[in-house]
Amino acid sequence: MQFVKDPRKNKRILLIVGILTIANLSIMATFPKLKLVTEQNVHTKCHFNQAHQLIKESLLPLLKTKYTLSSDYKLYNNATTQQNCCFSGTLQLKQLNKPLTFKVFPKNEQILILDSETKQFVSLKSWLDQ
């Protein structure tokens, strides 16, 4: 930035820059998560894709050995934070009257199935053994 020889114009420029700086800082203080939202969206999208891969590679092949799928699965993006990165989904099986509800944790590469009797999430292998 070039300063003008006139001191009044320099004061105006510094005043404008100061006002813009204060406005920017106040916006950042008021909305501290604005910057983090884009990072979280990228993070969530990456883990959402990993969850799809995990379902295709482990959940569907194991279920097809025992059950017949009547429809494709639906995966819902309900991750709230990066630490709590979990996605829920449903899948309809011909042998069951109710849709099968599951949770996918892509960080741990873990899939939990909702047991209809106990109403608790159990691991995929223990659910298949029942």
Residues facing 101 on adjacent strands: 90
- pTM score above 0.75: no
Q: For residue 19, what pLDDT is reported?
A: 92
pLDDT for position 66: 82
Shared domain check, 26 and 51 = no
Which pLDDT score is estimated for 67?
81
List, for residues 63-115, the tens digit of each pLDDT value. 888 888 777 888 887 766 666 678 889 988 887 777 888 998 888 888 899 88
56 shares a domain with 20: no
128/88 Cα distance (integer angstroms)? 18
Q: Are residues 23 and 82 in the same domain?
A: no
115, 60: one domain: yes
Residue 120 and residue 58 share a domain: yes
Domain range for 106 is: 41-129
Q: Could you read off the pLDDT of 22-58 as tens digits, one per residue?
A: 888 887 777 666 655 555 565 667 788 888 888 888 8
Exposed/middle/buried for 124, CB within 10 Å: 0-12, 13-18, 19+? middle
Number of structural domains the chain divides into:
2
